[in-house]
Amino acid sequence: MRKLMILSILCLTTIALAQDGGTAAPGGAGARINSRGGIAAPGATTGAGARRGNRAGMGAGGFAGFGGAGRRGRPQPVYKYSGLALTPPMGWNTWNTFQRNINEDLIKETAKIIAESGLKDAGYQYVVIDDCWMTMERDENGQLVADPQKFPSGMKALADYIHGLGLKFGIYNDAGTKTCAGFPGGRGHEYEDARLYASWGVDYVKYDWCNTGSANAQETYKTFGSALLAAGRPIVLSMCEWGKNDPWTFAAPIAHLWRTTGDIASRYTNNTGGTAGYNNGWKDILDRQAELKLEQYAGPDHWNDPDMLEVGTRGLTYAESKAHFSFWCMLASPLMMGNDLRSMNDDILKILTDKEVIALDQDPLGKQGYRVIDEEGREVWVKELSDGDWAVCMLNDTLEDAEMSLAWSDLEVLADKTYKVRDLWAKKDLGTTKDNYSGKVVSHDAALFRLSPAE
Ligand code: GLA
């Protein structure tokens, strides 16, 4: 059986590399053809990642299809388990709040809260340990070692605990020689690391980009994607290359999600207009998605990742947390909570578990929202949903609370149709788009609506 698997992997490699114009990823076996290529890995769905009609006028940017026929009708190689993220992944990650101050008690307590507080019911499932979980050196066999002080029971036991709660387990490493915090990176160890993660029961790997020198991002991530495939366990690959090499143009066959910018911080804006480095407000990152028109690259199983949530962290007001969450749902962003769930108040829990708002993010059509009005102090974003519905989000980008209005006829995407309007945060049906909206929106808050075709 094992021999058969190894043999299939080798065959797949040959096919994939041939299809790929013969560029071998360093050390790279294991790319997989699915859909029309006819060979799918366990857990794969056929053609799930194929690009689905982007909004009119976006042209032919992005992918012509993968997991299906490519531009010239040839099957495209896929370096990931297809079908694991048909809607944006949801979960929690240690980094934004805890950085290196992590241990197994924190992870277990947090997982328990997710399972019992309504978060799991709302869709959160991945519990992800970010950087700083390892010892500073690999062991004598070259294996990564979980820090015995922080994780005395070991990663397998922790994964079992998390799985026992009906949740999934995620871990972090880096494509370079060292992680961003200086722990052993994955470079040159991709296959053995992937096998180790699989043996622990890992379901999700975030793979960072520090200390990679002049490495080619596409080839490097292909190698790791292939290693995960070869390890034989369905694992989501979260690529964290900060948008440096335009991952949206090549990452869809490799990763289920890819970071688009530098690191998010607990603030509205850094007031520099930039999104590199470590200090970006969620509004800076939001602007960047619009500038790059990133909506054309996202879809089921391949998502832009504007970084993890800062909802409920210290640097944001309640309104800023609420608007941040609204916009991340408009973006069809992965929803990885980054706050301390043990001390979260009810208002924050209510934001994070709002099923009507999460439904925008998790809509099966998988369209990323985009900005249609950008004025001084006010902007409006729209997101197409299934069944002809639309989500509309209006931001008060000023320092003052304001009475704001929205003329539905300004939104061209609605054409001349009439829609019923629901105010999602107020939990109120407002009538139809025949009447313009006006209402108070607090500074840095957003009004969020779901529009459904009126009979
Ligand atoms: C980078 C990533 C962050 C986090 C840290 C860990 O900065 O972008 O999300 O993973 O590394 O060191």
Nearest CA to ligand 1 atom 8: 263
Tell me the CATH number of domain 90-361, given options 3.30.750.24, 3.30.450.20, 3.20.20.70, 3.40.1160.10.
3.20.20.70
Ligand 1 neighbour 175 (Cβ under 6 A): no
Pair of tokens at residue 124: 């959160």
**Chain region(s) in the chain for CATH 3.20.20.70:** 90-361
Secondary structure, 3-state, 52-86: CCCCCCCCCCCCCCCCCECCCCCECEECCCCCCCC
Task: State yes or no: is 130 an active-site residue.
Answer: no
Ligand 1 neighbour 95 (Cβ under 6 A): yes
Most distant CA pair in the chain: distance in Å?
Answer: 71
User: What residues have CB less than 8 Å from 367, skipping those under 6 apart?
Assistant: 52, 54, 55, 295, 298, 299, 332, 383, 384, 385
Ligand 1 neighbour 208 (Cβ under 6 A): yes
Provide the CATH topology of domain 373-453. Immunoglobulin-like (2.60.40)
Pair of tokens at residue 260: 């688009």
Q: Which residues of 149-179 are buried (b: 16+ CB within 10 A; e: fewer)?
A: ebbeeebebbbebbeebebbbbbbbbbbebb
Distance CA(32)–CA(34), nearest Å, equals 6
Give residue 76's pLDDT.
77
How far is ligand 1, taken at its centre, from the CA of residue 10, in Å?
34
Whole-angstrom distance between the N-terminal and C-terminal Cα of the chain? Answer: 57
Ligand 1 neighbour 240 (Cβ under 6 A): yes
Ligand 1 neighbour 180 (Cβ under 6 A): yes
How far is ligand 1, taken at its centre, from the CA of residue 356, in Å?
30
Catalytic residue among 130, 174, 263, 397: 263
Task: State yes or no: is 374 an active-site residue.
Answer: no
Ligand 1 neighbour 29 (Cβ under 6 A): no
Give residue 95's pLDDT.
98
DSSP annotation of 299 reads B
By most ligand atoms within 8 Å of CB, the mutation choice from 92, 99, 180, 310 for ligand 1 is 180
Give residue 362's pLDDT.
99
Nearest CA to ligand 1 atom 12: 180
Give residue 73's pLDDT.
67
How far is ligand 1, taken at its centre, from the CA of residue 98, in Å?
12
How far is ligand 1, taken at its centre, from the CA of residue 220, in Å?
18
Going residue by residue through the chain, which has 455 residues, state the pLDDT in tens, using 9 for 90 and above: 343 343 343 333 332 332 232 222 222 333 433 332 222 232 232 233 333 223 222 222 223 234 444 556 677 799 999 999 999 999 999 999 999 999 999 999 999 999 999 999 999 999 999 999 999 999 999 999 999 999 999 999 999 999 999 999 999 999 999 999 999 999 999 999 999 999 999 999 999 999 999 999 999 999 999 999 999 999 999 999 999 999 999 999 999 999 999 999 999 999 998 999 999 999 999 999 999 999 999 999 999 999 999 999 999 999 999 999 999 999 999 999 999 999 999 999 999 999 999 999 999 999 999 999 999 999 999 999 999 999 999 999 999 999 999 999 999 999 989 999 999 999 999 999 999 999 999 999 999 999 999 97
**Chain region(s) in the chain for CATH 2.60.40.1180:** 373-453
CA-to-CA separations, 132 to 93, 100, 127, 169, in angstroms, rounded: 12, 5, 15, 16
Given a contact cutoff of 8 angstroms between Cβ atoms, the answer to whether 130 and 95 are in contact is: yes
How far is ligand 1, taken at its centre, from the CA of residue 231, in Å?
25
